[in-house]
A and B are shown apart, each in its own frame.
Chain A
Amino acid sequence: MWTRKAIVYVGLGIILVLFAPFINNLQLFLLGTTILAFVAVHSLVNTRPIDVKITRSFNDDQVFENSSVSIDLVVQNKGRAIGFLEIYDNLPSEVKVQSGLNHSVIRLRTNETVVNQYLLDCRLRGQFRLGNPRLRIYNPSFLFYYESEIESKSSLVVLPQIEEIEGVDLSTDFPKMYQGAMPIRRIGTSGEFYGIREYFPGDDFKNINWRVFGRTRKLMVNQFEREDISDIMIILDAREITGTGTILRNPLNYSCKAAASLVNFFLRTRNRVGLITYGESVNVISPDTGERHLFKVLTALAEVKAKGSLGLHTVLGDLRNFTPRSPVMVISTLENDKTSATALREITARGFKLTFIAPDTLDYDRDSRIISPTVYFTASASLDNKITEARSLGARAMRWNPDSVLSTSLAEVIR
């Protein structure tokens, strides 16, 4: 491709060569000829086809939100030497270069390999595709250039950020057969203290509370909680409306962060956790345990996009086979969902222990002028009504300010 400079040079050269004879000026004539010769010579410099291979590698292809990933862009020259090679690595707008450059200008000798390293700041969860790196070859005087894309697409999964949660007690009345780590406030053999009672013959001596005996002269034994595996279902609202706000601060992102934190907590305590997302369609991940299941859920949360307008009632069918009287956590603002009241009533009627978490970004949206004060008051009142309604059904409901710690907010409603 010709640059504007080359076109100006050729135009000027021809004009000078044709104009100079009119004033019998050898100086201008020679200048015109030289300019044309210059373009002609440069058409042979750094314009021949090249043979370059580019590969991209990450230090980790699954990273968590607000962390960074190092990228190595390996440029290998298998053809002729290249004097001026501009490389631009095509990045999605959601990630930001933290250090180093995704744009570089290098000189590549034959068989030379250059590694361009840079650090990406992954501020937003999601599955991103890093596009083909773009190449531009200029000849030294910027007279000709050639642009190309090299097929080297990669995907990067940014998992939602996990917040450490401590001591969330979501007791279930329906423990599973095998003991787990979910305290269910029943007497058992875990290390967690439950209470004391009088000693009866046959009780284990090691459970006698000798301190109480010393004080009261009565034999009393310690009782401990029983811990059981519990099935927990997390329902996540991914309707289009949950994407309202900025790219980083919107209810869906915060919902995903809350869901990831809860899933991590419950799986760490050896429970079985499932996930249902609804929006454009209903996607179900059946309850399961283990590290692999955690990454399955986190990957699903990374891919969730704010789309569609399905109501909460659409998940009722999938809850039918779920372990009865188990905890169900709904993470949603329930905004503009006409089916929410019926659905919540149905969930509680089936005996599920309902916890309703509403990520509240309304204050931020109002302060950032994303929504008007009128809309703020309407939406805020509507959210309060939904929470009151859920509480009236016996659910534990909370309006969660994403700037505050989730476990603290949860502890306030699960008292």
Chain B
Amino acid sequence: MQTSNTLGFMQSVATLSLMLSLSFAYLINPMEDSLFFSALDSFSNGLYNSNVINELNTSVVAGILMGLFLGTTNILLSSSKKVYNYVSVAIASFFVLIFFGYVFGVDWIPYEPLQQLFFWVFIGLPVSTGMVGIWQDKVGNQVISAFLILAMPLGLSGNTNDQIYPILGFVFSYMLYLELSYGHVRYSRLARVMSYSKEYEDVLVWFLTTLMVTLAFTMILTSLAFLFHDLLGNILPYSFSNSIEYNTIYGQALSVLVFFMLWAVVQILFSRGYLARQVED
């Protein structure tokens, strides 16, 4: 019972992190700049000959809530395969009928509210997909959701150090989502094997504690990797450290890679027993 509570807690926190990471993603990259929504806008423009998306409400919160609603409904409906199939067919038919209604010029269908709902469904798509991944232990859904969180808000305008706090918030919640959702898949499978025993509960607690500690250390190490760029700037010849290339994000990227390369070398040199055997008979 205790083990299932911990597993439930992991799922809840993973869902929360999923919603948070999507919120931060849209906070960092405004929807107007999003390549995905620009493409959707162009597509709907071509289809309906009117600028549909620009007239709609682009509330991210509403989209996330819509995703939460759809994800929950999906999970609840999945408990019965028959009901799930019927509802899926009904929803698909509903949208096809609306589309045909539009093509044949049926006036009484409220197109605008439906388009609004549909748009929010798109915004909340990573949440609804991710929720299925978290609550039904589907790694494929988790991967798709993680990809959508990164790809959907992505624009070409870029972002700078001014947005460092939302970026850090995004990175933290995104990592938490990835780790807890995937961790739940693995640990819940083992919990079933271990019949939710008390000893296993200990392993779960260790995982959660270690995750929090390692995430904190990860943030510290990320900062160190960033600071390493400045350190490298001091060590390297002036002409190199003062070059345009070095002082852009390209230079920073290379510094980060050099930092982790050095980390790997140090680890290989100083820990001979690293991941080695040495298990006593």
List the interface of chain A (C-beta within 8 A of B).
Answer: 1, 5, 14, 17-18, 20-21, 23-38, 40-43, 45-53, 78, 83-84, 86, 101, 103-107, 114, 135, 140-142, 144, 146, 148, 150-152
Known: A18-B257, A31-B170, A45-B214. 15 other contacts (CB 8 A): A1-B275, A18-B253, A26-B164, A27-B170, A36-B260, A48-B271, A51-B278, A51-B280, A52-B280, A83-B210, A84-B206, A104-B194, A107-B199, A144-B275, A150-B279
Query: Across the interface, do B267 and A43 meet the contact criterion of CB distance under 8 Å?
Result: yes
Closest partner residue, chain B, to A18 (CB atom)? B253
Which residues of A are found within 8 Å of B46, using beta-carbon distances? none
Give CA–CA (A45, B281) in the complex, Å. 23
On chain A, the residues within 8 Å of B225 by CB distance are 33, 36-37
Contacting residues, chain B, for A142 (C-beta < 8 A): 182-183, 186
Q: How far is the CA of A23 from the CA of B219 in the complex (A)?
A: 23
In the assembled complex, the Cα of A14 lies from the Cα of B253 at a distance in Å of 9
Residue ID in chain B nearest A8 by CB atoms: B143
In angstroms, Cα B279 to Cα A135, docked, is: 9
Residues of B within 8 A of A84 (CB): 203, 206-207
Task: Enumerate chain B residues within 8 angstroms of A47, measured Cβ to Cβ.
Answer: 274-275
Smallest beta-carbon distance B218→chain A, Å:
5
Q: Mark B163-201, 1 if CB is under 8 A from A, else 0.
A: 110011011001100010011001000100111000110
Q: A40-B263, A45-B214, A53-B280 are in contact. Are A34 and B171 (CB under 8 A)?
A: yes
Tell yes or no: B28 within 8 A of A by CB.
Answer: yes
Q: Which residues of B contact A14 (CB under 8 A)?
A: 257
B249 close to A (CB within 8 Å): yes
The answer to whether A106 and B203 have CB atoms under 8 Å apart is yes
Determine whether the beta carbon of B199 is less than 8 Å from that of A49: no
Name B253's contact: one of A17, A51, A104, A107 (CB within 8 Å): A17
Contacts of A25 in B (CB 8 A): 154, 158-159
A409 vs B252: C-alpha distance when bound (angstroms):
90
Q: Chain B 241-281, CB within 8 Å of chain A: the 1/0 string?
A: 00000001110110011001001100100010111111111
Chain B residues near A34 (CB-CB < 8 A):
171, 175, 218-219, 222
Contact partners of B79 in chain A: CB under 8 A: none
Q: How far is the CA of A31 from the CA of B168 in the complex (A)?
A: 9
Question: Which of chain B's residues has its CB closest to A138's CB?
Answer: B186
User: Nearest 10 CB-CB pairs, A to B?
Assistant: A24-B158, A49-B278, A37-B221, A21-B249, A140-B210, A83-B206, A107-B202, A148-B279, A151-B281, A38-B218
**B156 within 8 Å of A (CB atoms):** yes
Chain A residues with CB under 8 Å of B25's CB are 27
Q: Whole-angstrom distance between the alpha carbons of A176 and B89 in the complex?
A: 89
Complex Cα–Cα for A41 and B220 (A): 10
A contact residues around B182 at 8 Å (CB): 5, 141-142
Bound Cα distance from A38 to B183, whole angstroms: 15
Residues in chain B within 8 A of chain A (CB atoms): 25, 28-29, 150, 154, 156, 158-161, 163-164, 167-168, 170-171, 174-175, 179, 182-183, 186, 190, 193-195, 199-200, 202-203, 206-207, 210-211, 214-215, 217-219, 221-222, 225-226, 248-250, 252-253, 256-257, 260, 263-264, 267, 271, 273-281
Indicate if the CB atoms of A26 and B203 lie closer than 8 Å: no
Q: Which residues of B contact A1 (CB under 8 A)?
A: 275
Alpha-carbon gap, A141 to B214, bound state (A): 10
Question: Contact at A20–B274, with CB atoms within 8 Å?
Answer: no
Q: How far is the CB of B183 from chain A (nearest CB, A)?
A: 7
Chain A residues with Cβ under 8 A from B256's Cβ? 17, 29, 32-33, 36
18 examples of A-B residue contacts, CB within 8 angstroms: A21-B249, A24-B158, A24-B159, A25-B154, A25-B159, A30-B167, A30-B168, A37-B219, A41-B221, A46-B210, A48-B274, A52-B279, A83-B210, A86-B190, A105-B193, A106-B199, A141-B183, A141-B211
* Whole-angstrom CA separation of A33 from B279 in the bound complex: 34
Q: Which residues of B contact A146 (CB under 8 A)?
A: 275-277
**Complex Cα–Cα for A244 and B274 (A):** 51
Give min CB distance, B200 to chain A, whole Å.
Answer: 6
Given A31-B170, A37-B218, A106-B202: A140 and B159 within 8 A (CB)?
A: no
- On whether A101 and B195 interact (CB within 8 A), knowing A34-B175, A34-B219, A151-B281, the answer reads yes
User: Considering the chains assembled together, what is the distance between the CA atoms of A126 and B107 in angstroms?
Assistant: 82
B190, B199, B222: the one contacting A30 at CB < 8 Å is B222
Closest to B168 in A: A30
How long is the Cα–Cα vector from A46 to B209 in the complex, in angstroms?
Answer: 13
A29 touches B252 (CB 8 A): yes
Q: Give every chain B residue within 8 A of A107 (Cβ-Cβ).
A: 199, 202-203, 206
Quick one: closest B residue to A81, CB to CB? B206
Nearest chain A residue, comparing its CB with the CB of B279: A148
Enumerate chain A residues within 8 angstroms of B154, measured Cβ to Cβ: 23, 25, 28
With a cutoff of 8 Å between Cβ atoms, the chain A residues found around residue B252 in the complex are 21, 29
Contact residue among A33, A52, A83 (Cβ-Cβ distance under 8 Å from B226)? A33
Q: Which residues of B contact A17 (CB under 8 A)?
A: 253, 256-257
A404 to B224, CA, bound (A): 79
